[in-house]
């Protein structure tokens, strides 16, 4: 099997795997956003429980102290979730809210057995006294345009508790510094590429791909329990890194193979940058790394892709590649003739 076919199969595997992971309609995932959700009050004050919103409001986390029973009411005030006095976390399978919260927009299928008036059927899902769930009352639903308030009702040991919060929109991030960084990194790659085209291209792609992988791992670990991990971002970053490493190690391979791998690594890193472009302007970025680091890597990766692309064009696709350090300007004699004009 030729290298081109192997590379094609690799890309196909990535696409198929991602599609299979996303087959559940509107699977829950955390995306870059300008919206932020926060709790403003808990009335009456309940020391037996702690509650917070996480991932920009996409999830709510509630923890109960041992010996206390907490019930979360659904959208129609039906029993939805429960923490028993023994710390068992349970979900009511007959709650319409339980099924509606399985999709990002609340439009998932609700079985006929779901009935707000039916006796709850509790299923234990954890035993640590802490639960995390997606709640459409606390996050920005499609079509929302202005800040709004939200309310979630609980009972703690049979007594009603009202949790109030607000959903606000922060100004979008202006990516001026990131734009400047991308231009500078592209210019640096091109300038160095005039003297060391191949070495500059492979090293730049290796640095950009490794950083993209680190950022993707940060996004992976930031996904709350029950939410879809950013598979595509991580897989594309892995692909770019593998290709970049392969490009730097193929010193004895044919020039055609080396160029193909480098082109593939450039395309993979460019794909990763394109996937992450929304993070350049979003106020909230779902990642365990800081937003500034994530934006820095995206901008740097974009500059590297542009810079390497310019080198590839100016060198004729490394058509005359003979050594690892081939320069865009050609050999020394050609450079001398150019300087003498």
CB 275 within 8 A of CB 232: yes
**Residues in contact with 39: Cβ distance below 8 Å, sequence separation at least 6, in sequence order:** 51, 52, 53, 163, 164, 165
Q: Which stretches of 22-98 are assigned E, i.e. beta strand?
A: 35-43, 49-54, 59-64, 70-73, 79-83, 89-92
Cα gap 62→67, rounded to integer Å: 15
Per-residue model confidence (pLDDT) at position 77? 93
Most confident range (mean pLDDT) of 45-49, 221-225, 298-302 is 298-302
Per-residue model confidence (pLDDT) at position 73? 96
Looking at the predicted structure, is the pLDDT value of residue 51 above 70? yes
pLDDT higher at 101 or 155? 155
pLDDT higher at 259 or 177? 177
What confidence tier does 339 reach under pLDDT thresholds 50, 70, 90?
very low
The proportion of the chain whose per-residue pLDDT surpasses 70, expressed as a percent, equals 82
Query: pTM of the entire structure?
Result: 0.80
pLDDT 10s digits, 79-102: 999 999 999 999 999 999 998 888
Average pLDDT score over residue span 105-121: 81
Name which of 81-85, 127-131, 246-250, 310-314 the model is least confident about. Answer: 246-250
Average pLDDT score over residue span 315-340: 49
What confidence tier does 23 reach under pLDDT thresholds 50, 70, 90?
very low
Looking at the predicted structure, is the pLDDT value of residue 153 above 60? yes
Name the nearest CA neighbour of 201 among 299, 320, 305. Answer: 305
What confidence tier does 325 reach under pLDDT thresholds 50, 70, 90?
low
Per-residue model confidence (pLDDT) at position 140? 81
pLDDT higher at 323 or 92? 92
Per-residue model confidence (pLDDT) at position 223? 87
Cα gap 286→58, rounded to integer Å: 10
Per-residue model confidence (pLDDT) at position 257? 82
What confidence tier does 5 reach under pLDDT thresholds 50, 70, 90?
low
Per-residue model confidence (pLDDT) at position 22? 45
pLDDT 10s digits, 70-80: 999 999 999 99
Cα distance from N-terminal residue to C-terminal residue, the chain: 49
């Amino acid at each position: 099997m030729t290298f081109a076919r192997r590379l094609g199969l690799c890309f196909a595997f990535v696409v198929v795997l991602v599609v299979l992971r996303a087959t559940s309609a509107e699977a829950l995932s955390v995306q870059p956003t300008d919206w932020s959700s926060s709790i403003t009050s808990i009335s009456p004050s309940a020391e037996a429980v702690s509650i917070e919103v996480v991932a920009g409001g996409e999830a709510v986390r509630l923890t109960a102290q041992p010996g206390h029973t907490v019930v979360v009411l659904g959208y129609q005030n039906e029993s939805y979730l429960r923490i028993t006095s023994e710390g068992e976390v349970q979900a009511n399978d007959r709650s319409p809210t339980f099924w509606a919260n399985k999709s990002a927009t609340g439009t998932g299928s609700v079985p006929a057995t779901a009935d707000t008036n039916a006796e709850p059927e509790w299923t234990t899902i954890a035993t640590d006294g802490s639960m995390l769930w997606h709640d459409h009352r606390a996050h920005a639903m499609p079509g929302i345009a202005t800040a709004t308030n939200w309310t979630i009702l609980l009972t703690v040991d049979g007594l009603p508790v009202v949790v109030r919060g607000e959903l606000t929109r922060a100004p979008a991030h202006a990516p001026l510094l990131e734009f400047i960084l991308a231009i500078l990194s592209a210019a640096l790659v091109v300038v160095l590429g005039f003297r060391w085209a191949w070495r500059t291209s492979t090293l730049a792609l290796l640095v950009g791909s490794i950083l993209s992988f680190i950022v993707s791992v940060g996004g992976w670990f930031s996904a709350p329990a029950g939410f879809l991990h950013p598979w595509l971002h991580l897989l594309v970053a892995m692909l770019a890194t593998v290709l970049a490493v392969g490009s730097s190690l193929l010193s004895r391979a044919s020039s055609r193979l080396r160029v193909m791998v480098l082109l593939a690594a450039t395309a993979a890193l460019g794909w990763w940058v394109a996937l992450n472009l929304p993070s350049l302007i979003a106020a909230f970025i779902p990642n365990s790394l800081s937003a500034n680091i994530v934006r820095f890597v995206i901008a740097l990766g974009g500059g590297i892709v542009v810079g390497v692309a310019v080198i590839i064009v100016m060198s004729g696709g490394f058509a005359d590649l003979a050594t690892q350090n081939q320069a865009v300007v050609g050999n020394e004699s050609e450079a001398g003739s150019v300087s003498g004009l």
